[in-house]
Chain A
Amino acid sequence: EAGVAQSPRYKIIEKRQSVAFWCNPISGHATLYWYQQILGQGPKLLIQFQNNGVVDDSQLPKDRFSAERLKGVDSTLKIQPAKLEDSAVYLCASSPGTGNTEAFFGQGTRLTVV
Chain B
Amino acid sequence: AQSVTQLGSHVSVSEGALVLLRCNYSSSVPPYLFWYVQYPNQGLQLLLKYTTGATLVKGINGFEAEFKKSETSFHLTKPSAHMSDAAEYFCAVSSGYSTLTFGKGTMLLVSP
Given contacts A33-B99, A42-B105, A99-B32, contact A105 B45 (CB under 8 A): yes
Mask: chain B, 22-39; 1 = CB below 8 Å from A; 0 = not: 000000000010101000
* B41 CB contacts on chain A under 8 angstroms: 107, 110
From A43, which residue of chain B is reached at the shortest CB distance? Answer: B102
Count: A-B pairs, CB below 8 Å: 62
Q: Does B77 contact A (CB under 8 A)?
A: no
Question: Can you list 8 residue pairs at the A/B interface with Cβ under 8 Å?
Answer: A33-B99, A40-B104, A42-B4, A42-B105, A43-B90, A43-B102, A104-B46, A105-B43
* A33 CB contacts on chain B under 8 angstroms: 99-100
User: Which positions in A face B, CB cutoff 8 Å?
Assistant: 4, 33, 40-45, 48, 55-56, 91, 93, 98-100, 102-108, 110
* A41 CB contacts on chain B under 8 angstroms: 104-105
Given contacts A42-B90, A42-B104, A43-B90, contact A98 B99 (CB under 8 A): yes
CB distance from B64 to the nearest CB of A (A): 17
